[in-house]
Amino acid sequence: MIIKYLDLNAINDSYGQPIIDAANSVIKSGWYLHGSETEAFEREWGDYCNAKFAIGVGNGLDGLKLVLQAWKIMYGWKEGDEVIVPTNTFIATALAVSQVGLKPVFCDVNQEDALICTDENYLQNLVNERTRCVIPVHLYGQIANLQKIYNFAEKFNLQVLEDACQAHGAKYNYKGQRTCVYSFYPGKNLGALGDGGCVTTDNQEVAELVRSLANYGQKTKYVHDYQGFNSRLDEIQAAILRVKLRHLDDDNKRRIEIADFYQNNLPGDKKLNFQNDGSHVYHIYPYITDNRTKLQEFLKENGIETQIHYPIPCHKQKAYSSYSNVNLTNAEYLADHELSLPNSQILTDEQAEYVVKTISKYFVLNDDYVK
Ligand SMILES: *Cc1c(COP(=O)(O)O)cnc(C)c1O
């Protein structure tokens, strides 16, 4: 049996003709940017996320940059002002901060769920008079503890930007105003057939400023209030996303089913703790194990593709070499022990069982697991 980590071809095939029809009708319409498909998708995505406003953008990184730039303008943040970022994330979260002239302050993650550390004493120690914002990343598809993060932010007068690029459709029970960024990179739970992203927010001023900044800083054509960016969700991607959005809840349900099966049946005593209240949509199923290299090799020999998210935390990347003396032990542990197993809406029961069986076999053969 061969199990790909993520079979995008098969996934997109599963939506059938409607995707092709959606793209075709845009091609034939002669209108490719800033049109009715993008507008309709923004409305539908905003509704789906319970957000007052949704602004389609070019990708997830742009979405993060645009919100930070908007806040920089709105609140008069200065170059080098600080933003707290969990180090166990895709590099985009940190790059967005750096690229708008702010400074990422890397923080550790919780040992039990790999999400941004919610120990208040720890977080408080990262705050100084230049701290402006905190970015919880809903890593692997699970919503971070929003109540704790927003309480902390309120106490120190910080903005909260949720990096929801892995958490499309994850349920949350926080009641206040939120600003979130999504990516529709092809491999995400809701993926385009190219690049795409969206900013959702309950704040009208943020919405208007992000929209303007994404469109060269203009609100009226050729009148530029800001030195903006060019960042657009195009009409073809928006039309395709509208088709796929109709299936997102079902797709997520299947991912959750498989992840629950893994969680309940995989051997090992180092598994992360996950909530099973719909707040985790398992963009990634992370398996924590000693001897990862050997297990990954064994799985490969047995036809199972895996990945690592992420092998190097941001603060240990060469791109952020000034942080190399910082130690963030939980994130570093995860970077050395995490192995992402295949999970998607098209994985069959048989395939998921084969993954579990193969890992169990590995432990029997290698005698390094005691139940
Ligand atoms: C995918 C991702 C991004 C960036 O999305 P792009 O569309 O590739 O720019 C940002 N943050 C996280 C956590 C992601 O997983």
Q: Residue 125 C-alpha to ligand 1 middle, in angstroms?
A: 28
Out of 61, 62, 138, 309, give the residue to mutate to test ligand 1, the one with the largest number of ligand atoms within 8 Å of its CB.
61
**Same domain for 292 and 240?**
no
**C-alpha–C-alpha distance, residues 211 and 217, integer Å:** 8
User: Do 134 and 184 reside in the same domain of the chain?
Assistant: yes
Length of the chain: 371
The last residue of a domain, from among 214, 245, 276: 245
Angle at 190 between CA 70 and CA 36, to 5 degrees: 65
* 304 domain residue, yes or no: yes
Residue 371's pLDDT is what?
A: 45
**Ligand 1 nearest-atom number relative to CA 283:** 15
Same domain, 121 and 41: yes
- Ligand 1 atom nearest to CA at 138: 13
Does residue 192 contact residue 204 with C-beta atoms inside 8 Å? no
Per-residue pLDDT of the chain (371 residues; tens, 9 = 90+): 899 999 999 999 999 999 999 999 999 999 999 999 999 999 999 999 999 999 999 999 999 999 999 999 999 999 999 999 999 999 999 999 999 999 999 999 999 999 999 999 999 999 999 999 999 999 999 999 999 999 999 999 999 999 999 999 999 999 999 999 999 999 999 999 999 999 999 999 999 999 999 999 999 999 999 999 999 999 999 999 999 999 999 999 999 999 999 999 999 889 999 999 999 999 999 999 998 999 999 999 999 999 999 999 999 999 999 999 999 999 999 999 999 999 999 999 999 999 999 999 999 998 665 44
* Same domain for 237 and 91: yes
Last residue of a domain, one of 227, 245, 263: 245
Q: Which pLDDT belongs to residue 269?
A: 84
Domain that holds residue 207: 8-107+115-245
Number of domains in the chain: 2
Quickly count: other Cβ atoms within 10 Å of residue 98's Cβ: 16
CATH number at residue 292: 3.90.1150.10
Query: Is residue 20 located within the same domain as residue 85?
Result: yes
Q: Do 144 and 166 form a contact (C-beta atoms < 8 A)? A: no
Lookup: tokens for 23: 């793209």
Residue 115 pLDDT: 98
- Residue 139 domain-assigned? yes
> Which of 369, 79, 34, 31 minimizes the C-alpha distance to 216?
34
The DSSP symbol for 216 reads: T
Q: How far apart are CA 156 and CA 133, in angstroms?
A: 9
Domain boundary among 219, 245, 271: 245
Regarding whether 175 and 321 lie in a shared domain, the answer is no
Q: Which atom of ligand 1 is nearest to the CA of 139?
A: 13
**Residue type for 138, please?**
H
Statement to judge: residues 65 and 203 lie in one domain: yes
How many C-beta atoms lie closer than 10 Å to residue 336's C-beta? 15
